[in-house]
Amino acid sequence: MGGGAGIPTAAAVPGATAPEPDIGLAERLFERLRRQTADGRGVTRAAFGEGEQCAHDLVAAEGEAAGLRKHVDAGGNLYLTLPGHGATGRTILLGSHLDSVPMGGNYDGAAGVFAGLAIAAAWSRAGCSLADDLAVLALRAEESNWFPFSYIGSRMALGLLPPEALELARSDTGSSLAEHMRDLGLRPQEVAAGVPQIRPETIRAYVELHIEQGPVLIEADRPVALVDGIRGSFRYRQMRVLGEYAHSGAVPRAYRHDAVVAAADLVTRLHREWLRLEAEGRDLTLTFGQFYTDPAQHAFSKIAGEVSLSLDIRSHEAKTLETARALAHRHVDEVAAEHGVRIDTGPPTGSTPALMDRTLIQTFLTAKDALGLERFVMPSGAGHDAATFAGAGVPSLMLFVRNRNGSHNPDEAMEMDDFAAATRLLAEGVARIA
């Protein structure tokens, strides 16, 4: 930052003279957005619907009032740009999404956009700029509950949305994504043609601030973390262990094909593998979120003939994900053989892990040092738009802000002091991107 004629050298000594982000602006926006998208219990901002549009309008108005250049792309993503003084042809993006799940919390997504705006607006008003363009990016449709597809907005921005996704129906209205886009005056045909709205090679960095959706920062007593990777997944969403229903008193153990015992054995075997891999320092989560017998057929006096269960494995390390996948296969086969049951895993689904940019991590670690914040790096267990940018070869990074009570619920609780600390770190880090 700095160096151009007539432009204050805001970050010649990074952090020392850069204008403070306008935290008050973000705070006012959080309140207005909460009021305008309240649903009685939490907030609801349907993708390509009323709540999300309301958020986009709020952010656009504030950005323009601060002198930022507004642009809406074919897919409805909003860019508010502080032009750079270096004519580099490159842009640093500070982005996140503005949709929410139904009855969601106020901060998931919005925090990243408001943090970007707090920085760009303050710098614009102070007459500062970076060599590169700095754009606040409000993305559409990150939450996959509205349309059964992830990262719609960021994929549209990069020309990566498969055209068939435009025919997906929104869960509440039944209307297609393309129809909802047309209602908002957007251009689904351009999205279908795969036209990139911003070319990856012109993006210097994509940095996304987001609330943490788990308890790690609360437990560690840290306000903000850098994210080193976004976990990918391997899943059997609809697994079935098939044994044989039989009388609980009449069939000796040797003759049983007990689906519950087999399924439980599979759970404990894989849990032990998790403990072992964790002890080796590998990143992994392993969850059996669904596990049930058939209420139409089960009974206390019957050996269960069927158990339905799901398996969700995540890691930000591709190698660990592959190891865990192979272990799941092996134990499925062994359990089936030992317990005399059949295991139908159903089709596997999954996503690729995304690594955050090492150079950006180093830059932001140094920024943390300069601000007197302790170094803290962690993976993201949930998916984020940063994964789309990283996958497209854009140097990407995420910052997590401490947040109580998880997310995707009305009880998300981010302290404004933590948000301010994270936003200052974002500003300091961005000013240091070479």
Give the binding site for Zn ion (CB under 5 A).
108-109
- DSSP-assigned letter for residue 166: G
Three-state DSSP class for residue 272: helix
When the beta carbons of 45 and 222 are compared against Zn ion, the nearer one is 45
When the beta carbons of 96 and 124 are compared against Zn ion, the nearer one is 96
Plot region of 210 (φ>0 → left; ψ -120 to 50 → alpha; else → beta): beta
When the beta carbons of 140 and 331 are compared against Zn ion, the nearer one is 140
For the bound state, the minimum distance from the C-beta of residue 269 to Zn ion, rounded and expressed in Å, comes to: 34
Alpha helices, H only, 228-304: 259-279
For the bound state, the minimum distance from the C-beta of residue 407 to Zn ion, rounded and expressed in Å, comes to: 7
Three-state DSSP class for residue 63: helix
When the beta carbons of 21 and 109 are compared against Zn ion, the nearer one is 109
For the bound state, the minimum distance from the C-beta of residue 12 to Zn ion, rounded and expressed in Å, comes to: 35
Half-sphere exposure of 104 (CA within 13 A, CB side): 24
When the beta carbons of 112 and 188 are compared against Zn ion, the nearer one is 112
For the bound state, the minimum distance from the C-beta of residue 211 to Zn ion, rounded and expressed in Å, comes to: 8
Strands 246-247, 302-303: pairing is antiparallel
Half-sphere exposure of 226 (CA within 13 A, CB side): 27
Report d(CA 212, CA 337) in Å as an integer. 42
In this structure, what is the dihedral angle of CA atoms 310, 165, 110, 180, given to the nearest 10 degrees?
-130
Report d(CA 99, CA 96) in Å as an integer. 10
When the beta carbons of 18 and 141 are compared against Zn ion, the nearer one is 141
| Cβ within 8 Å of residue 154, ≥6 positions away | 77, 95, 139, 142, 385, 388, 389
Q: What is the CA radius of gyration of the chain?
A: 24
Half-sphere exposure of 74 (CA within 13 A, CB side): 21
When the beta carbons of 95 and 109 are compared against Zn ion, the nearer one is 109
For the bound state, the minimum distance from the C-beta of residue 168 to Zn ion, rounded and expressed in Å, comes to: 19
For the bound state, the minimum distance from the C-beta of residue 65 to Zn ion, rounded and expressed in Å, comes to: 26
For the bound state, the minimum distance from the C-beta of residue 122 to Zn ion, rounded and expressed in Å, comes to: 24
When the beta carbons of 51 and 243 are compared against Zn ion, the nearer one is 51
For the bound state, the minimum distance from the C-beta of residue 141 to Zn ion, rounded and expressed in Å, comes to: 11
Instruction: Give which of 265, 258, 259, 257 is closest to 335, Cα–Cα.
Output: 265
